[in-house]
């Protein structure tokens, strides 16, 4: 197989914020070449978000029943992904014959690597048969089976961007959960670092029936609850070494405490909870960082970026400055690692997911 051959890959990403689906069509060899052909974000309606949030909150306590419980909604998510992909192809006037591969992340609804389970809804096999294009999914499974965390799984695309922009940069993705990637002595290092939008978005929905707090305007009216923030700083997650990963609902116990506060104070405190993860990340002496690049929806939260810059005395840049759409990095990422999976190239290692050996991953499904 020619290692430099390229394919047109459609990356489909539904993040832990559960606010929409991002789709990117790229041409790539999965290593040193990426050309973005077209891309678009589609928002989910509140009904989708509420159905999945309620599903997650009401999950069974017995671990043996969890997979069966979540998979009852697999067709619900698959159907929505299929419709969005078909809409994308129609709006962008793309002939299916010009797409070689679809790579989907699936909607993460449960993540518990210590029990070797991470559930993403969205069936790759059904999408391949419905849309009639080869589809790769289940990109985390091989990593988890081999002792890894299964997340962050897209680090090798971050590596590609870092090598393109600045080899001493760190990329921090602000989705529902915050994660980073950077190069340390030429080795790729990635990890989740704490909450990004999950608590802020859930509070915005709870108090104001809004998907998010635009520019942090509600939070600006509040003040920090120091006692709760002090408890948060001592959470056992922050004592673990990198790499480590989080379920979106890991911090739900703090959400339950936050909703007892004044609504504006709750949102301001949640912003500072995101700041805590950053603070602990940037204390790491191994990093020789020249640029901090932000991607994901949280980069648009003006209050959060002000807090980060003022408290950390660091300058943050939006990845958009480098003509890369910060809303769509993750869908580009899944297209890129889908290509790496197709070529059986490494998508995770001991420094990105704590897996025991360099691994590829993913399952390839055919239309018939």
| CA dist., res. 270 & res. 229, Å (int) | 9
| CA dist., res. 154 & res. 47, Å (int) | 28
pLDDT of residue 356: 93
Residues 6+ apart with CB under 8 A from 142: 359, 360, 361, 362
Residues 6+ apart with CB under 8 A from 304: 174, 200, 216, 271, 274, 275, 298
pLDDT of residue 1: 55
Q: Where are the alpha helices (DSSP H) in the chain?
A: 46-57, 63-71, 74-91, 124-131, 141-145, 155-165, 198-208, 226-233, 252-258, 263-282, 302-312, 329-342
| CA dist., res. 223 & res. 332, Å (int) | 37
| CA dist., res. 292 & res. 180, Å (int) | 10
Question: What pLDDT digit, counting tens, does each position of 81-114 carry?
Answer: 999 999 999 999 999 999 999 999 999 999 999 8
Nearest C-alpha neighbor of 120 from the set 13, 5, 261: 13
Q: Record the tokens describing residue 253, joined without a space.
A: 């116990």
| CA dist., res. 302 & res. 83, Å (int) | 33
For residue 107, the cross-strand partners are: 121
Residues 6+ apart with CB under 8 A from 255: 199, 202, 203
| Phi, psi dihedral angles at 226 (to 5 degrees) | -65, -40
Contact 324, 161 (CB under 8 A): yes
Contact 150, 143 (CB under 8 A): yes
SS3 of 40, please? Answer: strand
Put simply, whether the predicted model's pTM sits higher than 0.85 gets the answer: yes
Count of residues in the chain: 368
> Helices 263-282 and 226-233 sit at what angle, rounded to 10 degrees?
30
SS3 of 300, please? Answer: helix
Question: What pLDDT digit, counting tens, does each position of 172-209 carry?
Answer: 999 999 999 999 988 999 999 999 999 999 999 999 99
Low-confidence spans in the chain with pLDDT less than 50: none
Rg from Cα positions in the chain: 19
| CA dist., res. 110 & res. 61, Å (int) | 12
| CA dist., res. 290 & res. 299, Å (int) | 19
For residue 195, the cross-strand partners are: 177
Q: Record the tokens describing residue 309, joined without a space.
A: 């810059």
């Amino acid at each position: 197989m020619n290692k430099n051959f390229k394919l047109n890959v459609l990356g489909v990403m539904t993040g832990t914020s559960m606010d929409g689906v991002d789709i990117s069509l790229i041409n790539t060899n999965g290593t040193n070449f990426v050309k973005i052909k077209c891309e678009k974000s589609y928002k989910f309606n509140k009904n989708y978000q509420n159905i999945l949030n309620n599903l997650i909150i009401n999950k069974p306590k017995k671990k043996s029943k969890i997979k069966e419980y979540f998979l009852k909604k697999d067709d619900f998510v698959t159907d929505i992904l299929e419709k969005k992909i078909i809409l994308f192809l129609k709006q962008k006037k793309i002939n299916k014959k010009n797409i070689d591969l679809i790579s989907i992340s699936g909607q993460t609804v449960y993540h518990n690597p210590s029990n070797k389970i991470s559930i993403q809804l969205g069936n790759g096999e059904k999408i391949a048969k419905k849309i009639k294009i080869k589809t790769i999914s289940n990109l985390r499974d091989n990593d988890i089976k081999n002792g890894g965390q299964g997340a962050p799984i897209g680090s090798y695309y971050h590596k590609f961007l870092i090598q393109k922009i600045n080899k001493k940069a760190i990329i921090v993705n602000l989705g529902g959960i915050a994660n980073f990637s950077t190069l340390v002595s030429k080795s790729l290092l990635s990890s989740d670092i704490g909450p990004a939008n999950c608590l802020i978005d859930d509070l915005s929905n709870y108090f104001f029936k809004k998907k998010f707090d635009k520019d942090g305007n509600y939070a600006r009216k509040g003040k920090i609850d120091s006692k709760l923030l002090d408890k948060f700083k001592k959470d056992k997650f922050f004592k673990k070494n990198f790499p480590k990963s989080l379920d979106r609902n890991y911090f739900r116990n703090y959400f339950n405490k936050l909703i007892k506060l004044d609504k504006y104070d709750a949102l301001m405190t949640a912003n500072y909870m995101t700041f805590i993860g950053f603070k602990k990340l940037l204390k790491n002496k191994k990093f020789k960082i020249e640029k901090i690049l932000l991607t994901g929806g949280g980069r648009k939260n003006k209050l959060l970026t002000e807090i980060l810059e003022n408290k950390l005395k660091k300058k943050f840049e939006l990845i958009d400055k480098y003509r890369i759409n910060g809303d769509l990095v993750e869908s580009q990422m899944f297209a890129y690692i889908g290509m790496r999976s197709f070529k059986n190239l490494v998508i995770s290692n001991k420094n990105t997911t704590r897996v025991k050996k360099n691994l590829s991953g993913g399952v390839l499904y055919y239309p018939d």
